[in-house]
Amino acid sequence: MIRILCFLLLVSSCAWAQANFRLTAEVQNPVERKATIVLYRDWVSDEEEYDLVLNDNNQFSFTTALKDIAYIDFFYGNQSFHFWIAEPDDNIKLNFDAADFWQSLQVSGNGSGKFEYYIDYRKKFEETRDWQQQAEKWKKQPAGVYFKKLQQEQEIQLGFLSKYGNVSAAFRDTRKADIIGAIQNYKIEALSELKMPLWTSENIRKNMQTDVIPPMAQAASLEYGNALLNLADLFIAREGQRRKKMLSENQEYQYIKTMRVNKIITKEMAERLLGSKLKNSINANGLTAQIKQNAIDYLKFTNHTGFKNTINQLVFLQQTLVKGAPAKLFSLADSSGKFINLQDFKGKVVLLDFWTSWCGPCVRDMQFSSRIRTHFENKDVVFIQISLDGEHAWKEALKMYKIGGINVRTAENNSILKDYGISGVPAYFLIDKKGNFAFTKVAYPSDNNTKTLTDQIEEALAESP
C-alpha cells in the first residue's frame, strides 16, 4: 500500500506547463495595511490564503503559478469579492479608493475583461436587482411557474455574459457553467423539497446543458460542480430510501462511479466528485481499510494532478496518525505563558482536544469531557485542550466555560495543525504511555454518553508502558 501510494505521488509531482497569475493594486485612502486573497486551485485541494501587506506607496502585489482556471476571494477592510475566476497569464491591476470601493474600483491589464464583467454583473444582478432574493420569492409559486422563471433568469444572465467580448473562451465556458449550475441548483433543491421525481438522463442533459458546456469547464466551475454534487447526493438519498437504509460512504463512492459509467456525468466531473467525497471521508474517518481501497482505486482512475496530489498527501498523512504510530511532539504555551511539551507526559495516557470557542459541537463536548476528567481523576491520564482561537477569545472562553485540564493555544500557521491533519474541529487524539497513537479513530466525549471514549482511555491505561 505505502509503496503504491508513494510511487503515485512521485509520478504526479512531475513538472507541468504553468503560467503566472498576477494581481496588483493601488489603494487610495487606505483603512488598513493588509489585504487578503484566498485561492481555490480546484475543488478537491485545500484553499490557500495569502496576506498581502501594502508598501509605502499603498500598493501590493500577488503572483502565483497556475496551470488551469482557478477562483479567488479578495478582502480589504470591510469590502470583498468572492469566487472570481483567475487564469494563467492574467496580469490584473486594481485601483480603488478604500472609502468608496465599488464606485471607485477600476481594473486594467491582461485578463481584466473578466473583472469588468464581474463588476457590471454585481451592479445589475446583485445591487439593482437581487436575483437570488427574487428566486426565493418564486419558490412560493407552483413548481411549473417557479421552474419557468428560473429558466428565464438563466437566459437573461447568459445573454448578459454574451455581450462581453474581451474575455477568453475558457472564462466564457466556465462562467456559463457557473450561471447554469447556480440556477439549476434551485431546481435540484425543489426536487428534494417537493418530493418530485428525479431527473432522467435526458432531463439532466437538457437542464444542465451537458452537451454545450465542455467537460473541462463543467469540472472547473464552482457552481456547476456543486449542482451536480447535490444532484448525486439526491440520487443517493433516494436510493437509500428504496433500500430502506442509508448508503455507506463506500456505496456512495461506487454510486458516483456508476453515474460516470452510465454517462450521467463526465469523467472529469467524476474525478472531482469522487475526489471530494474521498477527501471528506478521510478527514472524517481516518484511513480505514475500505477508504484505503477507495484511495488506491481513485489514484488509478484520476488523471488530475492536483486531485491526485491532494489524496496522496492525505493518505500519507493519515498513515502517520494510525494506531501505533508515534505522536507528533509539540510545545505550546498555556494561559500563564508556561510551555507545555508533549514529551513530558510519556508514561501517561494523553487526550488531545483541538477546539475553538465558536464551534458549537466543541463547546457542547466540554461538559462531557468534564465528566470524563472527573472519572479519571488521580489516574495517569492527562487532558490537553488545544485552542485555535485568538488569544483574547481563548481566555474569555476559558473563563466562560470553566474548562479544566491543561489549556494551550496554537496559531493558525503552527506546524501542529499540519502534523495532526487538522481540517476541522473538534478533533481528538488519544496517545498511549509509549507516546504512540492509541487508536486510529478516537470517539467524541459525547458519544454514547461518554462511555465510548471512557472505554478507549481505560484500554490505553491497561496497556503496559
| Alpha carbon distance 374, 364 (integer Å) | 17
Strand partners, 354: 386, 427
| Alpha carbon distance 101, 105 (integer Å) | 6
Q: What φ, ψ does residue 424 adopt, rounded to 5°?
A: -170, 165
How far, rounded to the nearest angstrom, does the alpha carbon of residue 441 sit from its chain's CA centroid?
21
Asked whether 43 and 310 are in contact (CB, 8 A), the reply is no
What is the grid cell recorded at 114?
473578466
Contacts of 301 (CB under 8 A, 6+ apart): 270, 271, 274
Half-sphere exposure of 78 (CA within 13 A, CB side): 2
Q: What is the pLDDT of residue 283?
A: 86
Q: What is the pLDDT of residue 190?
A: 93
Asked whether 387 and 355 are in contact (CB, 8 A), the reply is yes
| Helix residue ranges per DSSP H, 163-286 | 169-193, 201-208, 215-220, 222-243, 249-261, 267-285
What is the grid cell recorded at 417?
495543525
Half-sphere exposure of 240 (CA within 13 A, CB side): 13
Q: What φ, ψ does residue 173 adopt, rounded to 5°?
A: -65, -45
The DSSP call for residue 443 is: P
Query: Which of 415, 426, 354 has its CA nearest to residue 383?
Result: 354
Q: What is the pLDDT of residue 17?
A: 59
Q: What is the pLDDT of residue 15?
A: 37
Asked whether 408 and 385 are in contact (CB, 8 A), the reply is yes
Instruction: State the Rg of the chain over Cα.
Output: 25
What is the enclosing helix (H) or strand (E) of 79? strand 79-86
Asked whether 174 and 69 are in contact (CB, 8 A), the reply is yes
pLDDT tens column, 120-163:
999 999 999 999 999 999 999 999 999 999 999 999 999 999 99
Helix axes 201-208, 169-193, angle to 10 degrees: 130
Q: What is the pLDDT of residue 195?
A: 74
The DSSP call for residue 338 is: -
Regions of the chain where pLDDT drops below 50:
1-16
